[in-house]
Amino acid sequence: MAEVTRMLVVWCADWPVVAAGVPLEVPAAVFHANRVVATSPAARAEGVERHMRRRDAQARCPELVVLPHDPAGEARAFEPVVAALEAVTPRVEITHPGACAFPTRGPSRYHGGDEALAERTAAVVAEVLDGRGFVRVGVADGRFAATLAARHRSGNPAVARHPAAWRGRGREAGGSVATTVVPPGGSPAFLAPLPVRELAEPGGPAGPELVDVLERLGIRTLGDLAALPLAEVVGRFGAEGRAAHRLASGLDERPPATAPPPDDLTLAAEIDPPAERVEAAAFVARGLADELQRRLAARGSACTRLVVGAETEHGETHERVWRTEGTFTPRAIAERVRWQLDGWLHVGAHRPTGALTRLWLAPDEIVPAGGRQLAFSAGGPGAVDPVEAGERVARSLARVQGLLGAEAVRVPEWRGGRGPAERVDLVPVAATDVTEPRPAARRDHVRAPWPGLVPDPAPATVHDPPLPAEVLDAAGRPVRVDGRGEVSAPPATVAAGGQRDEVVAWAGPWPYDERWWDPGRHRRRARLQVATAGGAAHLLAVEGGRWWVEATYD
Amino acid sequence: MFDHGGVARAEGLAHDPVTGGRAAGGSPAPAPGGRTGGVGLAELAGRVRPTDLARDLRLPVLPAFEPLLPGAGLRRGTTVAVGARPGVTGATSLALALVAGASRAGSWVAAVGLGSLGLVAADELGLSLERLVLVADPGRERGGWASVVAALVDGFDVVLVAAGGRLRAADARRLVARVRERGSVLVAVGGELPGERSPLRLTVTSSAWQGLGDGWGHLRGRRVAVAVEGRGEAARGRRAELWLPGPDGAVAPVEPVAEPIPLRPRPGPAGQRSAPAAPAPPAPAEPTGEAG
């Protein structure tokens, strides 16, 4: 047990809703990418659950208040909580807005035991929240157990999740606080009856895929998982399984680092001229974060806990410890800096009096890189984190849609069809979710054979609309395609767009009998491939004696 | 620690199969054998190296383009101009194939002002349509183009933009600066951005389709000759012949002349199987001479 740090976790229930300033009695849900990410207890009572689509959530609860996901606002609202906790301990780590943690060893001794410390912590936070939200405090060996202790008061998830029980308990606990202390050495026993699904909660070590597999194998509780031999779990599930097994056994996800990170990873930047606005400082932070990333990468490390500090021209300083599940990306670091400064400059009780002159980043805990990847992706150079990339794309597309309208931005989807323009259709991106896989954009989405298809390769330029053309034979007469799919004479020249080219090779026709660009009429048409003397190749289409250049093999 | 970063980058460059191979051998065509060995090692190093460092540097390209580009990839933060000689086609396919490797590796690609892009062809050349977004018409106003491309550069690793679009030289200059800051790659399709001279330029100098006869067959493959020029690390020009695409649908280098091919005749332009009466006038032997 020596390798477990005893931790206290403060968890503000339903923080995204609380931070938005919506009373918890109002059914409200926070949405991100059209999915519920947080709900108020009243919304849960109506059957609104996390991951639900907006339409489904509103069907269950028509009066649902829809809130946008605003991590910056949540962080800003959380700053007073962290500031107040500094009266209890100097070492508060912010896990995410709404949750923070600290090791209890020192503070516990000072405040007279874990129970007293938990009560005191809860009271401090409750005072800041002033009845706006509910505070849960958990103390246990290991961060994971402490987090679960904070979430599930009695260790029984059924009770903690039930809205009626939540109301009753709230009254019994004096309105808005609840504390749970798991005795030293008691973490494994506390965790054993809890479901393995807890591992896949946000911030947990495992993805839903791992939990699904475990459940299908009949491993339903953390105790079941802990009872398996570690070697077998690692053999079957790799690093992710190892982390899950350690947590289920009441250990920390990783053995604690024996040496502090070297000083040369601490980076600081003078801001000149001093920054009055958060944006200016965040820009500097991004540069620092990129540099930190480079230095960490050069030693094959990644950062999981980070101290962010700032100083003003009057010497006021502000430091916060940020922790993340997974590792910090430069983007995530810059985001934390922005949140922290925003909170300090705008809501804190101790607002600075001057502009920011200095900013520093100090990794507090580093781990070998790659040991903690949250998402699987194709490895190798240039590999991209698909989730992060999708979110970046979604943000940038939102801006373009704001400039041009929702219809102007489109994504391809496969359809059945014979023509190059019909086989792939474009749908407005607003009708899709770019952060999710889109099977309709994969070629195997369409399987039906399409007789009459012009063989591959497909043309790289598809004229929209098709260009009217004139196709003549060697004698200068228009080329025709008869009802049996025969050409009247080999094409000798093609004219389109004011240019006439000599045809040096051709093939076809590929007759087809369906609607094309004029859905009202239904006639036989045919396609022809031609190569011109200039080295170009075109796909021609004929309908009722009229020719078009449908596409160019550009 | 700066030194470590520098060393890592220098190693990355040293593993470059082309510069490495050529610097050592001095031969104009890198020997295929030596190249394979180099790639194996570089690939291994790439896997071991934390992905973020590699991501800092270059986007991957299809293997056919690796010997053509400095560092065997598209350097982030730069613009690339892809065009064709007057009267020659193939620029669109070349641009699509150039960014296909990045798209396959997970990068998102946006296409601006390219309303007639053949999406089936994009898929065949290797782009992932799942990560392709089109803004066919970025509006009539000239400033509109610049704002749209600027917004896309923030979110996409690769932005394809029609070179003939409504961009002013001043806008183009600002975009180039923005691309440098964001670390994406801006590809001008069909020429240069107005007023710019891209550090990397790919030009189709000749193009010949095969497989089409006199009323029979169908287009099967195309041989193009590509000239790569630029400045900085791309200052020394390179030339190559590519299948764009080949008869099997893949983008591949046309086998170099220097390579000894024992026991079987070279599948030349008039490959026995596909085109005994190949479209003669743009004789496919021409580009071979140019590249050699």
Residues whose CB falls within 8 Å of the CB of residue A90, separated by 6 or more in sequence, listed in order:
none
Is B182 in the same domain as B159?
A: yes
Most A-contacting residue of B1, B124, B137, B251 (CB-CB within 10 A), to test interface: B1
Whether B44 and B54 map to the same domain: the answer is no
DSSP class per residue in A68-82: E--HHHHHHHHHHHH
pLDDT digits (tens, 9 = 90+) for A12-36: 988 999 998 888 888 999 988 788 8
Tell me how far apart the alpha carbons of residues B142 and B135 are, in angstroms, rounded to a whole number: 15
Q: Does B218 touch chain A (CB under 8 A)?
A: yes
| Residues B70 and B98 reside in one and the same domain | yes
Do B29 and B141 lie in a common domain? no
- Whole-angstrom Cα distance, residue B292 to residue A130? 79
Same domain, B27 and B61: no
DSSP letters, A122-157, are: HHHHHHHHTTSS-EEEEEEESHHHHHHHHH-TTS-H
pLDDT tens-place string over residues A425-448: 888 887 777 777 787 888 877 766
Query: What domain count does chain B have?
Result: 2
Task: Tell me the CB-side half-sphere exposure of residue B122, using CA atoms within 13 A.
Answer: 34
B280 touches chain A (CB under 8 A): yes
- pLDDT class of A518 with cuts at 50, 70, 90: low
- Dump pLDDT digits (tens) for B222-279: 999 999 998 888 888 888 999 989 888 889 998 764 445 555 555 555 444 444 444 4
CA nearest neighbour of A458 among A418, A494, A513: A418
pLDDT over threshold 50, residue A211: yes
- By the CB < 8 Å criterion, does B38 face chain A? no
Count of A–B CB contacts within 8 Å?
Answer: 266
Confidence of residue A155 (pLDDT cuts 50, 70, 90): very low
Whether residues B2 and B130 share a domain: the answer is no
The single-letter DSSP state of residue A253 is S
Alpha-carbon gap: B51 to the closest alpha carbon of chain A (Å): 6
Q: Do residues B105 and B41 share a domain? A: no
Distance CA A78, CA A95 (A): 11
Q: What is the pTM of this model?
A: 0.51
The pLDDT of residue A259: 63
8 Å CB contact of B105 and A370:
no
**Nearest by CB to A404, which of B92, B148, B216?**
B148
One-letter identity of residue A534: G
Q: What is the DSSP string of A409-443?
A: EEEEEE---SSHHHHEEEEEGGGS-TTS--GGGSG
CB-based contact A554:B190 (threshold 8 Å):
no
Q: Are residues B109 and B12 in the same domain?
A: no
Q: What is the pLDDT of residues A496-506, one digit of tens each?
A: 888 889 999 99
- Give the pLDDT confidence score for residue B1 in this predicted structure: 41
- The C-alpha of B47 sits at a distance from chain A's nearest C-alpha, in angstroms, of 5
User: Pairing relation of β-strands A491-496 and A461-473?
Assistant: antiparallel
Cβ partners under 8 Å of residue B203, min gap 6: B82, B83, B84, B85, B226, B227, B228, B229
pLDDT for position B184: 92
pLDDT at B118: 92
For B123, the domain range is 50-291
Contact A459 B46 (CB under 8 A): no
**pLDDT for position B127:** 93
Which parts of chain B have pLDDT scores under 70? 1-56, 141-142, 256-292
**Position A146: which residue type?**
A
Single-letter code of the amino acid located at A253: E
Q: Does B191 touch chain A (CB under 8 A)?
A: no
CATH of the domain at B240: 3.40.50.300
| Interchain CB contact of B164 with A (< 8 Å) | no
pLDDT at A385 over 70: no
Percentage of chain A beyond pLDDT 90 is 15
* Average pLDDT score, chain A: 81
Contact criterion met (CB < 8 Å) for B122 and A381: no
Q: Report which residue type is found at B145.
A: W
Is the same domain home to B120 and B62? yes
pLDDT of residue B100: 94
Nearest residue on chain B to A536, judged by CA atoms? Answer: B89
Give the one of A383, A462, A506 whose C-beta lies nearest to B51's C-beta.
Answer: A383
- A329 interaction partners in chain B (CB closer than 8 Å): 52
pLDDT of residue A447: 64
B165 and B244 share a domain? yes
Helix pair angle (A278-298, A330-346), 10° resolution: 150
Does B20 share its domain with B153? no
My answer on whether B158 and B278 are in the same domain is yes
Rounded Cα distance, A467 and A475, in Å? 23
Final residue before a domain boundary, out of B13, B30, B49: B49
Whether residue B52 lies within 8 A of chain A, CB to CB, comes out as yes
Q: What's the rounded Cα separation, in Å, for the pair A11 and A86?
A: 16
Give the single-character DSSP code of A520.
Answer: T
**Chain B within 8 Å of A489 (Cβ-Cβ)?**
no
Those of residues 237-276 in B touching chain A at CB distance below 8 A are 245, 249
Complete domains list, chain A, with CATH: 1-12+72-151+175-187 (3.30.70.270), 263-368 (3.30.1490.100), 402-450 (no CATH), 461-552 (no CATH)
Percent of residues, chain A, with pLDDT higher than 70: 86
Is A263 an 8 Å CB contact of chain B? no
Q: Which residues of A422-442 are buried (b: 16+ CB within 10 A; e: fewer)?
A: bbbebeebbeeebbeebebbe
Q: Please return the burial class of A215, using the count of CB atoms within 10 Å of its CB with bins 0-12, 13-18 and 19+.
A: middle
Asked if B147 reaches chain A (Cβ–Cβ under 8 Å), the answer is yes
